[in-house]
C-alpha cells in the first residue's frame, strides 16, 4: 500500500487522528492514547489509572470478559494496553481486513467499560494487581526504579509508581474507579494513531462514527513542573548484588535539545563503546551491565544511570562513575565520540521506524507532545546538526549538581554517601 505520508486530522469533539500508510504490509497497528496516568493522581488514588487499564478488558454492556478475550483471539495479531506516568494506551496489530472490527472492540472498551454487574471481575483483577505490585517489590531492578523516582522527584506526583501501592489499590472502591474511568478515558480527549495498511480518511470516519459522543474534555492539567531534588533512598535486601540507580536533570519531551541529550547519553553510557561501559566493565570489571538513558516527560526529564555491583565494590563503583561524569562535565565529548554517537543514533532511529507499531507510537508521541513533525526526517536532521558545543553546554548544565541516589541490596556500612552523589570538582 502506498500513500502520501503521515496525515493528521483534528476532530471537533476532542479527538485527533494521525496515521501513516506503509507499503508492502498486510497489517495495521493502531492505538488509542489518553493523556492521563499516575502523574494526574493523588497519593490517595495512586495506581488507579493502571488498575483501570486492566479493568477495561473485564466487560462492557455488550461484551463479557470472556467475549472480549475470544474476540481478541479471533482477530489474530496482538492486542495489549499499558500505563505510564502521562499516558494510558490501548493498542493492537491486526490484518487490515480486521481493522474495523478491532477498532469497534477497542472503542467499546474506551467508552463503555466498568458497567454494573462486573464487581466480581473487578475484585479478581484487584488481586492480580496486588500480585503484580508484590512482584515488582521483589525485583531489585524494578524497585530501584521506583526508589530513584522518589529520590529525584521528591513530593511531586511524578515520584509515585505507576502501579501504586498495595494499600491504595486494596482500598479503591468501585465508585471511585468508575468515576475516574468516566473522566479520564471515556470523557477525555484522545489521540488515535495508526500505521501500516491504513487509509486515513476511512479511519477518520470510523473514529467519528464510534467516538463522537459527548464533547470530550480538555487534557488534564499536569500541574507545575517538578523541581528535581538530589535525594537518597535505600532498601536493604538479601541479594547477591546491590542494584544502583542515579538520576540527574534531563530534558523534557518538548525541549528542542532532545537530540543533544540523546547523543550525550549514548556517549556516556548507552553502548559498548560508551565511557561508562569501557571504564566500569571493560577496564575494572565492576559490573556486568552499566547503562545510561534519558527519560523525558512533557515538561521535565531525567538523565539516569543503572548498574548492579558486588557489595564489596559498591563504593569503588560509585567513585568511578562519578569520575567519568565529572570528566564529561568539565571537558565534554570528543569529536570522534560525537561522530560515533550520531551514526549509532541515526541507525537506531531508522531501524526502529521500520515496524508499524513503532511508527504508530512515534506519531502519537509527536501529537501528544505538540511536536510539529509527523515524519522522522526533521528529527534525523536535528541529530546531524547537533554539534560539540551543544553537547558541552548541555553536559555542563545537566551534571552541575549532585545526582539523586537509590540502592537495593545488602549495602555495606559506609559504602554510600549520606546524601546524593556529589561529582568531583
72, 98 Cβ separation under 8 angstroms? no
Neighbours of 6 (CB within 10 A): 20
Are 38 and 133 within one domain?
A: yes
Give backbone dihedrals phi and psi of 140, rounded to 5 degrees, phi first: -55, -40
- Residue 179 located in a structural domain: yes
Are 72 and 36 within one domain?
A: yes
> How far is 48 from 349, CA to CA, in rounded Å?
33
Calculate Rg over the CA atoms of the chain.
Answer: 23
> How far is 216 from 186, CA to CA, in rounded Å?
8
268, 293 Cβ separation under 8 angstroms? no
Check residue 169 and give its pLDDT: 98
Are 253 and 313 within one domain?
A: yes
- Residue 1 located in a structural domain: no
- Residue 416 located in a structural domain: no
> How far is 27 from 5, CA to CA, in rounded Å?
17
Check residue 372 and give its pLDDT: 86
Are 299 and 368 within one domain?
A: yes
- pLDDT-flagged residues of the chain (< 70): 1-3, 214
Check residue 230 and give its pLDDT: 84
User: The whole model's pTM is what?
Assistant: 0.95
Check residue 217 and give its pLDDT: 84
- Cβ partners under 8 Å of residue 369, min gap 6: 253, 254, 298
Are 326 and 383 within one domain?
A: yes
Question: Which grid coordinates are listed for 256?
Answer: 528542542
- Residue 2 located in a structural domain: no
How would you label 9-27 residue by residue, b for 16+ Cβ within 10 Å and e otherwise?
Answer: beeeebbbbbbbbbeebeb
Are 253 and 326 within one domain?
A: yes
Q: Which residues are catalytic?
A: 53
Are 167 and 316 within one domain?
A: no
| Exposed/middle/buried for residue 165 (C-beta within 10 Å: 0-12, 13-18, 19+) | middle
Are 166 and 199 within one domain?
A: yes
Check residue 221 and give its pLDDT: 79
**Using the 8-state DSSP alphabet, how is residue 56 labeled?**
G
Are 267 and 173 within one domain?
A: no
Are 375 and 238 within one domain?
A: yes
Check residue 51 and give its pLDDT: 98
Polymer length of the chain: 425
End-of-domain residue from the set 145, 179, 211: 211
Range of the structural domain that residue 342 is part of? 232-409
Looking at the structure of the chain, the number of domains it has is 2
- Residue 218 located in a structural domain: no
- Cβ partners under 8 Å of residue 237, min gap 6: 140, 143, 408, 409, 410
- Residue 216 located in a structural domain: no
Q: From 153, 171, 233, select the one nearest 47 (Cα to Cα).
A: 171
- Residue 226 located in a structural domain: no
The CATH number linked to 85 is 3.30.830.10
Check residue 2 and give its pLDDT: 41
224, 340 Cβ separation under 8 angstroms? no
Are 192 and 239 within one domain?
A: no
Check residue 1 and give its pLDDT: 38
- Residue 224 located in a structural domain: no
Are 196 and 269 within one domain?
A: no
Q: From 295, 290, 262, select the one nearest 276 (Cα to Cα).
A: 290
pLDDT digit string, tens, across residues 239-271: 999 999 999 999 999 999 999 999 999 999 999
Amino acid at each position: 500500500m502506498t500513500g502520501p505520508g503521515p496525515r493528521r486530522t483534528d476532530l471537533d469533539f476532542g479527538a485527533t487522528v494521525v496515521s501513516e500508510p506503509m507499503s508492502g504490509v498486510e497489517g495495521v497497528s493502531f492505538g488509542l492514547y489518553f493523556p492521563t496516568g499516575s502523574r494526574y493522581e493523588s497519593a490517595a488514588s495512586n495506581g488507579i489509572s493502571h488498575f483501570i487499564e486492566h479493568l477495561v478488558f473485564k466487560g462492557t454492556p455488550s461484551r463479557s470478559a470472556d467475549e472480549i478475550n475470544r474476540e481478541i483471539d479471533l482477530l489474530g495479531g496482538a492486542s495489549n494496553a499499558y500505563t505510564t506516568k502521562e499516558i494510558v494506551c490501548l493498542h493492537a496489530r491486526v490484518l487490515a481486513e480486521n481493522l474495523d472490527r478491532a477498532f469497534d472492540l477497542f472503542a467499546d472498551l474506551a467508552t463503555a467499560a466498568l458497567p454494573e454487574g462486573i464487581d466480581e471481575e473487578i475484585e479478581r483483577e484487584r488481586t492480580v494487581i496486588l500480585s503484580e505490585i508484590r512482584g515488582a517489590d521483589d525485583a531489585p531492578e524494578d524497585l530501584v526504579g521506583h526508589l530513584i523516582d522518589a529520590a529525584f522527584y521528591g513530593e511531586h506526583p511524578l515520584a509515585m509508581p505507576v502501579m501504586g501501592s498495595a494499600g491504595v489499590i486494596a482500598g479503591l472502591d468501585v465508585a471511585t474507579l468508575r468515576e475516574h474511568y468516566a473522566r479520564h478515558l471515556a470523557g477525555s480527549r484522545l489521540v488515535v494513531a495508526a500505521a501500516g495498511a491504513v487509509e486515513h480518511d476511512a479511519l477518520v470516519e470510523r473514529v467519528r462514527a464510534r467516538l463522537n459522543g459527548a464533547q470530550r474534555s480538555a487534557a488534564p492539567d499536569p500541574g507545575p513542573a517538578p523541581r528535581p531534588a538530589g535525594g537518597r533512598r535505600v532498601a536493604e535486601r538479601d541479594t547477591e548484588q546491590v542494584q544502583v540507580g542515579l538520576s540527574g536533570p534531563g530534558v523534557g519531551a518538548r525541549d528542542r535539545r532532545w537530540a543533544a541529550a540523546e547523543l550525550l547519553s549514548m556517549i556516556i553510557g548507552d553502548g559498548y563503546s560508551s565511557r561508562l561501559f569501557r571504564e566500569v566493565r571493560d577496564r575494572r570489571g565492576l559490573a556486568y551491565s552499566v547503562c545510561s538513558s534519558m527519560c523525558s516527560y512533557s515538561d521535565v526529564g531525567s538523565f539516569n544511570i543503572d548498574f548492579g555491583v558486588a557489595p564489596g565494590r559498591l563504593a569503588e563503583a560509585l567513585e568511578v562513575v562519578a569520575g567519568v561524569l565529572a570528566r564529561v562535565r568539565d571537558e565534554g565529548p570528543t569529536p570522534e565520540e560525537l561522530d560515533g554517537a550520531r551514526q549509532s543514533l541515526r541507525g537506531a532511529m531508522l531501524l526502529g521506524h521500520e515496524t508499524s507499531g513503532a511508527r504508530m507510537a512515534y506519531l502519537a508521541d509527536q501529537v501528544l507532545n505538540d511536536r510539529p513533525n509527523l515524519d522522522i526526517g526533521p528529527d534525523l536532521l536535528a541529530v546531524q546538526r547537533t554539534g560539540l558545543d551543544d553537547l558541552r553546554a548541555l553536559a555542563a548544565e545537566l551534571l552541575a549538581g549532585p545526582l539523586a541516589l537509590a540502592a537495593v541490596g545488602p549495602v555495606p556500612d559506609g559504602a554510600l554517601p549520606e546524601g546524593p552523589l556529589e561529582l568531583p570538582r
